[in-house]
């Protein structure tokens, strides 16, 4: 999806054209699991995280204030530190990553590319146009139909159903 959109081959997001989705709540920052974020001024900060200027779906700037940065010696005001692992797994999945990084990533914002998301992650959101891939899977036929209904009802205008 990134190549089709004309974005570079790097494993990290490159800027505002990317679709990034938040993977965990951070109530102190107003971040909610499933929220889409826009990134600018992305800086690779080493092996575990990168930092960026972040805007939420409503165009509100999300980040640490000068006061917040004082509680975290690595945090820069107005920037978020974002865990790299979920992005790296798109290139090369590392089954031991979570066991290795769990303690460090608790202090970071967790997000990943949001070009394609599950129906579970899409609950509560809507988009003008939606493409749904019905893989026919589910614990039961009723379970599959419930998730398919959730996915289909995310579309405001256009829907493409692939089965």
| pLDDT tens-digit readout, 113-153 | 988 888 888 888 889 999 999 988 878 999 999 999 999 99
Q: Dihedral of the CA atoms 34, 35, 40, 46 (nearest 10)?
A: -40
pLDDT of residue 74: 52
Give residues with Cβ within 8 angstroms of 57, minimum separation 6. Answer: 35, 36, 37
Q: What pTM did the predictor assign?
A: 0.81
Per-domain boundaries in the chain: 20-113, 119-162
């Amino acid at each position: 999806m990134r190549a089709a959109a004309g974005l570079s081959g790097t494993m990290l997001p490159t800027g505002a054209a990317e679709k990034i989705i938040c993977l965990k709540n951070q109530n102190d920052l107003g971040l909610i699991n499933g929220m889409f974020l826009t990134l600018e001024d992305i800086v690779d900060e080493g092996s575990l995280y990168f930092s960026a200027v972040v805007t939420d779906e409503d165009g509100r700037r999300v980040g640490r204030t000068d006061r917040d940065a004082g509680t975290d010696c690595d945090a820069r005001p107005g920037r978020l530190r974002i865990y790299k692992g979920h992005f790296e797994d798109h290139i090369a999945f590392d089954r031991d990553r979570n066991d290795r990084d769990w303690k460090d990533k608790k202090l970071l914002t967790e997000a990943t590319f949001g070009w394609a998301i599950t129906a579970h992650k899409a609950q509560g959101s809507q988009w003008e146009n939606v493409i749904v891939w019905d893989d026919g899977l589910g614990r039961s036929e009723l379970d599959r139909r419930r998730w398919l209904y959730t996915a289909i009802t995310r579309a405001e205008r256009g829907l493409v159903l692939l089965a």
